[in-house]
Amino acid sequence: MQNTAPLNWRRFPERYLLRGSYCETCKQAFFPSRAICPNCRRKGKLISIEMPRTGKIISYTRVHVPPEGFKNEAPYYLAIIELENGAKVLSQIVDSDPEKIKIGAKVKKVFRRIAEPDEYGTITYGYKFKVVE
Amino acid sequence: MEAGIVAYGVYIPKLRIKVSEIERVWEKSASGLGVIEKAVAASDEDACTLAVQAARVACEDFCIDPKRINAVYVGSESHPYAVNPTASIVAEALGTSNKYFAVDMEFACKAGTAGLQVCYALKKAKMIDIGLAIGSDTAQSKPNDPLEFTAASGAAAFFIGDSKEEVIAEIEHTCSYTSDMPDFWRRPKAEFPEHTGRFTGEAYFKHVISAAKMLMEETGYKASDFSYAVFHQPNGKFPLKAAKILGIDLERVKQGLLCPYIGNTYSASTLIGLASVLDVAKPNEKVLAVSYGSGAGSDAFVLNITDNILHRRAKVKVWDKIKEKQYIDYALYVKHRRKIKL
């Protein structure tokens, strides 16, 4: 059993609440969080914010050969989503008709199991997205 | 203002399997159960994710700031961990502060209403601002067992407070009828629960009827005083029979009777029915709600609907939520419910 619990715990704000960064100087949002604004460097003033729960698909693929921990899921859709504030998120798409998973489709955040390495370790929870009308 | 419900939210997974599909596989008839189809959690859903979804929709619909939540009780018979609380994961995912009471509840199908009673008591004692009680289950059932026709997945979240601007349903009274009657159980390392067949019906009616009568005796209400009645729904017929025994018009049960279309959602069953009643109830109407948990016990409540209901309701009614569905066959059902071991 891999002891991934401490690593996962440090990412709870990101995975549970989509917490990222926002630079008050250049007004740009970043996900995941940044230690320093890539635009403003030392002049940037980053704060932690919860990202919007909705966005749109800007690219996607269908995964048939999953990595460890995702065997129960395959086949599944993976997409790059642009959130309403411009930040981009890589996420699984669930609960969606395959015909509706397309570039430009509106999506909303849902809370799901992300991975389960084995039956003894901790379960990783976090965000996925679903297509909404 | 009496302590009561200030917000509610329901989550029902999108997947459905028709009872006729399970009948086809096992060449058995389940027509006597009064269930047409049941909700199935996807393979990446569990009682915790369902609970979070139900609570989040309530926070959004009723503009509840999660930082106000000082108590989180999650009732389930399918908590994802044997040791490690669901309640703390749910709270973290909602974005509460760290100042909250929390524990996982377990009492078969009545663990959710037990959480409701605890939140109500904490609110009456003025120990919390808002308490959150959730009933959530991804009910397990052995293949080819009678339970497989009904054991379903769903969650309902109820927020308890006493602000006169927020309370939509005052909890006028609650009581419980409990006894040691083992009609359904699961031992620690068993994957699926066991049950005693028809004896479960005897246990259901003994506790549900006794709790409802106890509540009426203690409050002075008669069956005709209730505009709506909600009972635990292990199948589509037991709640109607319970209403008939108590002398309650069957028409007053139908609004909260979801089991024929989503199955038995265990800890969420009574609470989803109650949410459906709150979707349509009018001010000053009285609602009777009686849960049932094997082992065995029933929690009974009488609620008084307030004027706030006119401007504080869920954005999507429960009967509309269940329309969003995707049918699966038995093969996909066993995949999603992890009955296939990879």
Mean pLDDT by 10 residues, chain A (133 residues): 84 96 97 96 96 98 89 90 97 96 98 87 95 92
In whole angstroms, give the CA distance from residue B271 to residue B262.
13
Which of A45, A42, A48 lies closest to A21, judged by CA? Answer: A48
Task: Pick the residue from chain A with its C-alpha nearest to B339.
Answer: A72
Same domain for B270 and B317: no
- Sheet-wide strand order for A46-50: A29-30, A19-23, A46-50
Nearest to B89 among A17, A50, A125 (CB): A125
User: Residue B60 domain-assigned?
Assistant: yes
In whole angstroms, give the CA distance from residue B326 to residue B341.
24
- Let me know if domain A5-18+52-131 sits in CATH 2.40.50.840: yes
* Whether A113 and B81 lie within 8 Å, measured CB to CB: no
Same domain for B321 and B182: no
Cβ contact B138:B78 at 8 Å: yes
Same domain for B296 and B246: yes
Cβ contact B64:B131 at 8 Å: no
Same domain for B89 and B214: no
In whole angstroms, give the CA distance from residue A36 to residue B114.
48
Residue A51 corresponds to which tokens in the numbers above? 């990202």
Task: Pick the residue from chain B with its C-alpha nearest to A74.
Answer: B43
Cβ contact A110:A130 at 8 Å: yes
| pLDDT tens for each residue of B100-148 | 999 999 999 999 999 999 999 999 999 999 999 999 999 999 999 999 9
Same domain for B154 and B13: yes
| pLDDT tens for each residue of B172-189 | 999 999 999 999 999 998
**Domain containing B283: what range?**
169-307
Task: Pick the residue from chain A with its C-alpha nearest to B96.
Answer: A17
Same domain for B74 and B148: yes
Domain definitions of chain A by residue range: 5-18+52-131
Q: Given a cut of 90, is residue B66 above it in pLDDT?
A: yes
B339 touches chain A (CB under 8 A): no
* Whether A97 and B326 lie within 8 Å, measured CB to CB: yes
User: Residue B341 domain-assigned?
Assistant: no
What is the ipTM, given to two decimal places? 0.95
Active site residue B77: yes
Same domain for B326 and B228: no
